[in-house]
A = this chain, B = another copy of it.
Amino acid sequence: MTTTRPAPEEQELPFNVFAKACPSRGTLEHVTGRWGALTLGALYEGSLRFNELRRRVDGVSEKMLSQTLHALERDGLVHREAQPTNPPRVDYELTALGREVAERLLSLIHCVEGSMETVLRARERYDETRGAR
Q: Which residues of A contact B (CB under 8 A)?
A: 13-20, 23-24, 27-29, 31-34, 37-38, 41-42, 56-59, 73-77, 97, 100-101, 104-105, 107-109, 111-116, 118-123, 125-127
Q: Are B119 and A27 in contact (CB under 8 A)?
A: yes
Question: Quick one: closest B residue to A37, CB to CB?
Answer: B32
A18–B44 CA distance with the chains assembled, in angstroms: 13
Chain B residues, CB < 8 A from A56: 18
Q: Are A122 and B76 in contact (CB under 8 A)?
A: yes
Given A23-B116, A113-B17, A115-B101, CB of A76 within 8 Å of CB of B108: no
Min CB gap A45→B, angstroms:
11
Given A31-B112, A101-B111, A113-B24, CB of A76 within 8 Å of CB of B118: yes
